[in-house]
Structures are given as C-alpha cells and as structure tokens.
Structure 1
C-alpha cells in the first residue's frame, strides 16, 4: 500500500514537473509586441509575434514591449515667453517603441523620460517665442518639439511621432488685455468695412449719375440729328414739290389760254391781299398805280412773255 501511494505521488509530481516545464518553455507573443529574453541574467534575443520555445529555468522573459503607438499626457507646466509672459501649457505626446532591446536597457522608464524631456523642450521653445506667436504658430512649435524629442530619444529605442499643444492658460490680466485688443481690432475692421461700403455706394451713385447724363446727352444728340434730318427731308420735299409745281405751271402757261389764266389768277391774288390789308389796318398808304389793276396784270404778263422768250432762245 505504501509502495502504491509513493508511486502515485511520484507520478503526480513528475506530471506537474512536465506541465511546469512546458509552461516555462512555451511562449506565445501577441501581434505588434516584442519580448526580451534573458539567459542566466544576460540579454539573449528578442522574440517577435508568434509561438516560441524557451529553455526552462534558464531563459526568461525580462521585458515585454508593445509596438503600438502610445499616447502620453504631458502635465501642465509653467513657461515664460520671449516677452516675459508666464503661461501654462498642457500637451499630448505620441510615441512608439521601434527597438525593444534599447527600450529595455537604454533607459529605466522611457515613458517618464519622454514626458520630462517634452516639458523641458517645450519650456525652451516657448522661451524663444513671443506670446502672440504661441497662438499663431502652434504647428511650428509642435514640429520643433518633435524634432528635439526625436533626436534625444533615439538611444532609448523609441520614436516621437507627434506632439500637440492641447491648452494654453494665460494670466487673467493678459486675458483682459487680449480681449480689449481683439475688441478694438474688430471695431477697427467694422469701421473699415463700413467706410468701404459707403465709398462703394457713393461710387455706384456717381457712376449711375454719369451714365444717366451720358444717356441723356446721347438721346438729345440723336433727337437733334433726327430733327435735322427731318427738316432737311422736309426742305427737300418742299423744294421738289415747288419745282414740280412751277414746272407744271410753266407747262400750263404754254398751253392755249394759259396766259389769260395766269393774268386772272394774279389779279385775284392782288385784290385778295389788298382786301386783307384793309382789314388789319385803319390807316393805309395806297400806291398811285392801285387804280390801274389791269396795267399791273399786263405788266406781269409781259414779264412772263419775256421769260418765255429768253427760255426759247
């Protein structure tokens, strides 16, 4: 019975030893991770993701590092700008382990070291920058901090990917001064915009008046041209009609009885005009030849004969 119990205990102990040995020797490294292996207290190798076998009780996993990007909150720090204004700055830093061996043996705690280095670098960069530019040139400041951190962190096996200023805290007096400055700037821009609007409105009105005057003058010019052309056409038509009438009269005079008709017509006009003259005036000066109307008509007839003879010649 004792032999059976001892054999069972020995088998159980052997099974436990085998299980512990397997557990000690088998290692599964997750994706995007590195394990640093030490053999008898000395660095041996770095395990990448996958299944690995170690020598039990001789090899051990000394450090386990993730290769994923890590976010580190940089605590608020007091910085003095180039123009001697104290500001409080909070930041966020993004780092990544690129060499597990250096991250294990190059420094004791690379996260803490990177955070402290970010604070000192930020104080140095802010000390070379005016207060106004700390707001205007955040991207430039971030780039300078990243460059300085990345150069300093290379021996630690890490890479600084980005640094972002999350908040800039100003003293109350500086806030009031900046608010007054911004208010004055807004008022100045509003005044400039108003004056520009009024100036443009005046320009538009003057341009409209100028165009109106031009349009009126052009209209008056066209009116005068049309009236002149109308008068010219009227004179031309009257002259043409008069010439045509005179031509017809001349032709009519040549016909039989034409001279007698002209003499009669002249006599009628003579008597008619004399009658009109008598209606408009109380006192008249009568020519001595008025009594001899026939003589006047005969004289006109003689003139017509003379003109006809000259034309015939």
Structure 2
C-alpha cells in the first residue's frame, strides 16, 4: 500500500508538472532548462516535467502604484511635498521578466525622479494651476524611459501638493495683504465714482438752471417784444383812425372838443385832490377859453 500510494503521488506530481492552466488575467513566462522558451497566454498548456518550468507570471490588468510623498524644490526655491499615483500595464511579458528586476519599484522610483525634475521647472503657482500639464509631462517621460521594461505607463495623478508650513504662513499673509489691497482699491473706486456722480449731478443741475433761466429770459423778452409790438400796432391803428377822422369834415373841431373835455376832467381831478387852490395861470384868457369851447361845441352841433 505504501508503494502504491507513493506511485500515485508521483503520477499526480508528474501530471501537475505536465499540465498548466494560465488564468485570463495573467501571462506566464516558461523556461526550459533555465533558458527562455515562450510566453504563454491565458488558457491550457502542456509542459515537459522537470524540464519546463514557469519562471515568471505577470498580471496583465492595469495596476495602480502609490508614489510615496517626497520633497521637491520649485523653480522659485520653495519646498513642496508631493505624492501621487502611477497607472501601469504589462505589455510584454518577456521584457517585464528579463528587462528589469522589478518593474513596479522601478516605475515608482522613476515617477519620483521625473516628478522632482518637472516640478523644478515650474513656479509654486504653476504647480497648482498647471497640474494637468504636469501630469502629462510626467507620463510622457516615464513612458519613454520604461519602454525597455515591457510596461506601458497609462497616466499619472498628483494626489497632494503641500508646501512647507513656513510657506503656508507666508502665503496666508500675502493673501490677507492682497485682500486688504483689493478692499482699499474697491473703496477708493467707489468713493471716486460717488464723487464723479455728485459732480456730474451738480453740473447737470447748473446746466438745467442756466437753461431754464435762459429760456425764461427769452420768453420774457419775446413777451415784452410782442407786448410792445401789440401796443405799437394799437397806437398806430389809433393814430391812423384819428388821422382819418381829422381829415373828415368837422374832424378838427371834434378833436379840439375832445381835448377840451379831457383838459376839464383832468383839471377837476387836480382840484379835488389838491390841498392847495389851483387856478389857471392866465386868468385873463379864461373867458376866451370857454368862449372858444362854446364856439367849438356849436360848430360841432351845426356840423351834425
């Protein structure tokens, strides 16, 4: 029984060495007598026991490698602590096995050195604002250097960019000063605009007042001109009618009669309102004056 058991175990061991199943997510590198034989793709394969062996097995899925934090110096001599993630994929099992000892460690170290080099080309502000361009530059450099390793660098992502505490304090003070500066500029601009608006308002008010005064004077002048014109026209018409009346028969006598009546009325008003007795200067001619008035009156009546 012991011999039978040993024989069965030997047969099973030989079958195990003879048959090989490669999973879907891997590739296997087979060596024959210590020398590279083939890269076996996923599936069922036969091996020669004790001659062929699987030397390496590589995962063909995309792998994520954590890049440890490290200190970098920017172009403006500011110390920054940077960490990230690098995404790689095995493309050639033969190169990944014999091109380098451990492509994972090599990819991480290469990502660190490339990251230090690329950050040294940028200022502190650019490392934050141009992160996408920085990632692309790192991927391009790593992919070019890792081509002999049989891997493909798909992308690189920076997780954190952390300046030193001293730099953080300096930046905070700078930001506070910048905010204060902007606030003062805003207040000064607002005050300037307010003064400009007030001066514009005063200017417009003065213009409106002067325009109103100008229009008022123009209107008054036009009114006075029209008044003078109307009065002049009325006087002219009156004088014309008087002239026509005088040129008619008995016109002169009627005019004299009218003047006498106005003289008597005015003289009566003066005598009524005067505290001093007023008499004509030439008393000798007073009788002749009334005689003339009577004659004029009779002539007017005779004319009618």
Q: With structure 2 as the length reference, what TM-score do the two structures score? A: 0.73
Label 1:25 to 1:145 Cα distance change in 2 as closer, same or farther (>3 A).
closer
Query: Hey, what's the Cα distance between the residues in 2 that align with 1:280 and 1:113?
Result: 136
Query: Hey, what's the Cα distance between the residues in 2 that align with 1:217 and 1:45?
Result: 101
Is contact 1:75–1:91 with CA below 8 Å preserved after alignment? yes
Query: Hey, what's the Cα distance between the residues in 1 that align with 2:168 and 2:240?
Result: 106
Q: Does 1:24 align with 2:19?
A: yes
- In structure 1, what is the equivalent of residue 300 of structure 2? none
Label 1:282 to 1:90 Cα distance change in 2 as closer, same or farther (>3 A).
farther
Displacement after TM superposition at 1:45 (Å):
4.5
Query: Hey, what's the Cα distance between the residues in 1 that align with 2:194 and 2:74?
Result: 46
Structure 1 segment 8-157 matched on structure 2, within 5 A: 24=19, 29=24, 35-36=27-28, 38=30, 40=32, 42-45=36-39, 47=41, 52-57=43-48, 62-68=56-62, 70-157=63-150
Displacement after TM superposition at 1:188 (Å):
1.0
Q: Does 1:244 align with 2:237?
A: yes
Q: How many aligned positions are there?
A: 281
Displacement after TM superposition at 1:59 (Å):
8.3
Displacement after TM superposition at 1:200 (Å):
0.9
Structure 1 segments unaligned to the other structure (5+ residues): 1-5, 7-11, 299-313
- In structure 1, what is the equivalent of residue 152 of structure 2? 159
Question: Which residue of 148, 169, 172 corresponds with 2:165?
Answer: 172
SS at match of 1:54: strand
Q: With structure 1 as the length reference, what TM-score do the two structures score? A: 0.71
Displacement after TM superposition at 1:194 (Å):
0.8
Displacement after TM superposition at 1:193 (Å):
1.0
SS at match of 1:145: helix
Structure 2 segments unaligned to the other structure (5+ residues): 295-304
Please provide the CA RMSD for this pair.
4.0
Is contact 1:54–1:60 with CA below 8 Å preserved after alignment? no
